[in-house]
A and B are shown apart, each in its own frame.
Chain A
Amino acid sequence: MEHGHRIGFTEQAGGPPCSAPIGRAAGPHRGALPAIELSLLLLLIFGANPLLRAADQLVRYEATHRAMGTSFTLVEYGHNSAYLQEVASQVFQEIDDLDNQMSNYKPSSELSSINRDAAQHAVMVEPKLFRLIQDTLEYSRASDGAFDITVGPLMKAWGFFRGQGRLPSKAELAEVLKRIGYRHIRLDASARTLRFDTPGIEIDLGAIAKGYAVDRAVEVLRDNGISQALISSGTSSLYALGSPPGEHGWKISVRNPLDTSKAACVLRLQNLSLAVSGDYEKFFKLGGKVYAHIMDPHTGMPVEDMLSTAVVSPSATDSDALSTSFFVEGPDAARHYLDTHHGLTAVFFLPAASAGTFKQVVLKSTVTRLPAGSFISLECH
């Protein structure tokens, strides 16, 4: 699959290779003159050790922001904290704009008006959102419907939308399943319009919006000359831009799905994204049984034989969609996808035979061609 929003990435791909000294990519910064003088001075004192020089001058800036029902956390390295703050504001503004456009909780969002009107008539869609919806339909086709942005009514039937969990009746499920299916979304690329071919369809971008927002945030960071940053959306979607000063990749621990205070895997990532899907943050218990929030669109039931999935790819949008898709499909079906798409790493956390244990399956694309400047190491316990 090729996605429009990945173009920005490949343009940036010619950056410093991962072994190059970190922190030399000069971002625009204010009050640069004294900094240059200082660096000259340090150069005289410390000789030409670029790592030492970079570490002396870098400022670390960390900020969090609430949006999309979660918290986005951003860390950037640069030369001037005021500049870094301004960039962070731009990043969060971009995320808020996307939230206002793509939320299905906000009646005024573009997505809400699509959901209201698209069964009656074709609705014109903003170009980037249109492209994103096109992409989601690609994921749906590639996963044979395991990934589906029309599962909203199903989530509601199970009480995962603003409420307590509940067990829907079989009749209710059968009725709801009639209103599910990505094939009911009809796109007209030339007119850039969308319509539903049957009433009752709703689009819910919850499985992809956070990853998409992370990608757009990374674009803002790059456009502003930031080359060392990490942005995380509620810990489930993140992108590691460059590496922290003096490091080889950003260190990221993936939670053990059965004991979330522990790490199941430790990754180091540079210019790559990671997304995690898990059933341990949103679920309810009924009659001793746990029902989690990730639905199998084919059965209308929550997925049961998977604890968590983690996907690494160059695009956070891809990672987000694929972690959900793989969660529903399981490793066997995912393997086929990995055979035909390059640059992906997926980790499956599956329930093991004895209670309280799990097994891990790591799968990689047959062609592990990563963009230049990217780096991944993965260590699972």
Chain B
Amino acid sequence: MRKKDVTRRDFLKSAAVAAVAAGGARPVKASPAMLSTSNPGSTVHYGFIGTGTEGCSLLKQLTTIPAGRCIATCDIYAPNLKRGVETIGSNPQTYTGSPTEYRRMLERKDLDAVLIATPLSMHAQMVIDALNAGKHVFVEKTMYFKEEEGDAIRKAAEANSKQVIQIGLQRRSSVLYNVAMQMIRKGALGKVMFVRAQWHRNNNWRRPVHDPKLERQINWRMYREYSGGLMAELASHQVDVANWAFGSEPISVVGTGGIDYWKDGREVCDNIEVIFKYPGGRKMTFTSILYNAHLEYNEQIMGDHGTLIITIGKGMYYRETVAKASNGKAKENWWAGATVTQQAEQKGFPLFPDEAGNQGFLDREMLYAKRWLASMGIYEYEEPHDPKWSELSNFMASIRDGKPIACPLDVGMADARAVIYGNRAVDTGNTVYWPKKEA
């Protein structure tokens, strides 16, 4: 059908424009660059605190980022510390033995930056100490644990405003997510009103513990003393996507949840179901369950003209069969022919960054060919790098070259507030409202 083709071309055009604009990871708000300390060509010497599972996952990415060199690692749990050292392979000095040992590491003058991947309850103090010690800071999401910690971190960051602080929400560094956000800004989805996200698993979310004495240390995510549960560990990624898509943080949240399936002594919910309300009646729902993995995890961003279904590594765009109202008449020219089947129309379009940009004819043609193959399901677009690699590269580039920070303080704070208020809504059963912004 001729009309359909035109619409499809229009879409591809708008996606291409969006992608050109995306170019690479760009933060929503530009942060002050580290001009005074930036030193292109130098190597960033960093220390790594918390070399557990997530920490080692970051360290593995760091092994292929030449802009930084790990000279110190710190973990209270010896097997993890050993694993971290082995993972990074740069023969770092190790700090272990007491929970405050990291402060000794911070005293090192040759240390430019610190990366923190410890249990959530430890984030705030470490971030503040590192900032006050004059270090650049990368901290895993969720940025902080308790509401009051946010202001303390902000104060420390403002007092040390020439240092970089970046939060580990890696979707902010994903090419696909940036294309998605550009598509939203360009109106490919129309009026974006709803984000539906789920993070569903079918396991107990525990790590194996060979010595019961270590249960709370290894399975810290299960205990309220250290952990914000599913909200902090999983929802934080997706609520940030909603914040990004809506260009706003929520104004209120309601929710429920419970320990209803894995009654194994854990203190955090094994299922949560929350609704965040944003200005203008926009909403985001999040569910996380640990007893069915069929839907796995993704975010479905919905506007009155289309839907984006996106997760790390894959994004699809589906056009709504939207009606068009216009004033006056149009040039009516209709085509008649053998029945056109609907199969082609039901397929979505894969998200595809326009890397060709200003390149030549052949590159552009190649891109169109790839995009076409992708739409047929023959070719899959892959991110040029793991978004974790991208976020860590961005961290080094922010320090060394003054590049804008992909996920700066404000983004992390908005995300942490949503996690904290979301948990409060689940715990109390009340609607939790965001404090009124100071004028």
Complex Cα gap A209–B323 (Å): 24
Query: Is A3 an interface residue when CB atoms closer than 8 A count as contact?
Result: no
Looking at A53-61, A135-143, A329-337, the stretch in contact with chain B turns out to be A53-61
Query: Is A66 an interface residue when CB atoms closer than 8 A count as contact?
Result: yes
Chain A nearest CB, measured from B328 CB (Å): 6
Query: Is A254 an interface residue when CB atoms closer than 8 A count as contact?
Result: yes
CB-CB < 8 A to A366: which residues of B? none
A282 close to B342 (CB less than 8 A): no
CB-CB < 8 A to A233: which residues of B? 339
CB-CB < 8 A to B4: which residues of A? 71
Looking at B50-58, B202-210, B330-338, the stretch in contact with chain A turns out to be B330-338
CB-CB < 8 A to A250: which residues of B? 332, 334
Complex Cα gap A60–B3 (Å): 16
Report which of B324, B333, B337 forms a contact with A235, defined as CB distance below 8 A. B337
Report which of A70, A244, A260 forms a contact with B332, defined as CB distance below 8 A. A244
Q: Which residue of A lies closest to B3 (CB)?
A: A73
Chain A nearest CB, measured from B420 CB (Å): 42
Complex Cα gap A69–B345 (Å): 11
Query: Is A279 an interface residue when CB atoms closer than 8 A count as contact?
Result: yes
Complex Cα gap A281–B338 (Å): 6
B334 close to A61 (CB less than 8 A): no
CB-CB < 8 A to B338: which residues of A? 235-236, 255, 257, 276-282, 308
CB-CB < 8 A to B3: which residues of A? 73
Complex Cα gap A59–B324 (Å): 10
From 214 to 252 in chain A, residues with beta carbon under 8 angstroms from any chain B beta carbon are 230, 232-238, 244-247, 250-252
A252 close to B342 (CB less than 8 A): no
A85 close to B337 (CB less than 8 A): no
Complex Cα gap A63–B304 (Å): 13
The proximity string for A residues 166-181 relative to B, scoring 1 for CB distances below 8 Å and 0 otherwise, is: 0000000000000000
Complex Cα gap A71–B330 (Å): 21
CB-CB < 8 A to A59: which residues of B? 325-328
Given contacts A60-B330, A250-B334, A252-B334, contact A70 B325 (CB under 8 A): no
B332 close to A75 (CB less than 8 A): yes
- Range for the number of chain B residues in contact with chain A: 20 to 34
Q: Which residue of B lies closest to A266 (CB)?
A: B333
Chain A nearest CB, measured from B275 CB (Å): 27
Query: Is A95 an interface residue when CB atoms closer than 8 A count as contact?
Result: no
Query: Is A93 an interface residue when CB atoms closer than 8 A count as contact?
Result: no
CB-CB < 8 A to A310: which residues of B? 336
Complex Cα gap A73–B335 (Å): 11
Question: In terms of DSSP, what is the predominant structure of the interface of chain A?
Answer: strand
Complex Cα gap A315–B325 (Å): 28
Report which of B323, B334, B342 forms a contact with A230, defined as CB distance below 8 A. B334
Complex Cα gap A64–B337 (Å): 17
A281 close to B332 (CB less than 8 A): no
B334 close to A66 (CB less than 8 A): no
CB-CB < 8 A to B341: which residues of A? 69-70, 234, 281-282
CB-CB < 8 A to A350: which residues of B? none
B340 close to A61 (CB less than 8 A): no
Q: Which residue of A lies closest to B332 (CB)?
A: A244
Query: Is A274 an interface residue when CB atoms closer than 8 A count as contact?
Result: yes
Complex Cα gap A246–B345 (Å): 33
Chain B nearest CB, measured from A276 CB (Å): 5
Given contacts A66-B345, A84-B325, A234-B341, contact A253 B336 (CB under 8 A): yes
Which of B322, B327, B338 gathers the greatest number of chain A CB atoms within 10 Å? B338
Chain B nearest CB, measured from A98 CB (Å): 16
From 248 to 289 in chain A, residues with beta carbon under 8 angstroms from any chain B beta carbon are 250-255, 257, 260, 263, 267, 274, 276-282
CB-CB < 8 A to B1: which residues of A? 71, 234-235
Complex Cα gap A174–B405 (Å): 73
CB-CB < 8 A to B323: which residues of A? 61-64, 85, 88
Given contacts A66-B346, A71-B340, contact A81 B325 (CB under 8 A): yes
Given contacts A66-B346, A282-B339, A282-B341, contact A77 B329 (CB under 8 A): yes
Q: Which residue of A lies closest to B329 (CB)?
A: A245
Complex Cα gap A74–B58 (Å): 54
Complex Cα gap A73–B341 (Å): 13
Complex Cα gap A59–B328 (Å): 5
B329 close to A60 (CB less than 8 A): yes
CB-CB < 8 A to A281: which residues of B? 337-341
CB-CB < 8 A to A210: which residues of B? 339
Query: Is B98 an interface residue when CB atoms closer than 8 A count as contact?
Result: no
Complex Cα gap A210–B338 (Å): 12
Chain A nearest CB, measured from B188 CB (Å): 18
Query: Is B36 an interface residue when CB atoms closer than 8 A count as contact?
Result: no
Query: Is A65 an interface residue when CB atoms closer than 8 A count as contact?
Result: yes
Query: Is B358 an interface residue when CB atoms closer than 8 A count as contact?
Result: no
Q: Which residue of B lies closest to A81 (CB)?
A: B325
CB-CB < 8 A to B340: which residues of A? 70-71, 234-236, 281
Query: Is B359 an interface residue when CB atoms closer than 8 A count as contact?
Result: no
Query: Is B42 an interface residue when CB atoms closer than 8 A count as contact?
Result: no
B321 close to A64 (CB less than 8 A): yes
Given contacts A60-B328, A60-B329, A81-B325, contact A238 B346 (CB under 8 A): no
Chain A nearest CB, measured from B342 CB (Å): 5
CB-CB < 8 A to A277: which residues of B? 338
Complex Cα gap A281–B341 (Å): 8
Given contacts A60-B326, A85-B323, contact A66 B342 (CB under 8 A): yes
Q: Which residue of A lies closest to B340 (CB)?
A: A234
B336 close to A60 (CB less than 8 A): no
B325 close to A232 (CB less than 8 A): no
B336 close to A85 (CB less than 8 A): no
Complex Cα gap A306–B336 (Å): 17
Complex Cα gap A96–B337 (Å): 22
Report which of B321, B336, B345 forms a contact with A232, defined as CB distance below 8 A. B336
8 contacts between A and B (CB under 8 A): A60-B324, A60-B327, A62-B325, A237-B339, A245-B328, A251-B334, A277-B338, A281-B340
Given A71-B1, A254-B337, 7 additional A-B pairs, CB 8 A: A63-B321, A69-B342, A70-B342, A235-B339, A253-B334, A257-B337, A257-B338
Which B residues form the contact surface with A (CB < 8 A)? 1, 3-4, 321-330, 332-342, 345-346
The 3 A-B pairs of least Cβ separation, nearest first, read: A278-B338, A63-B323, A255-B337
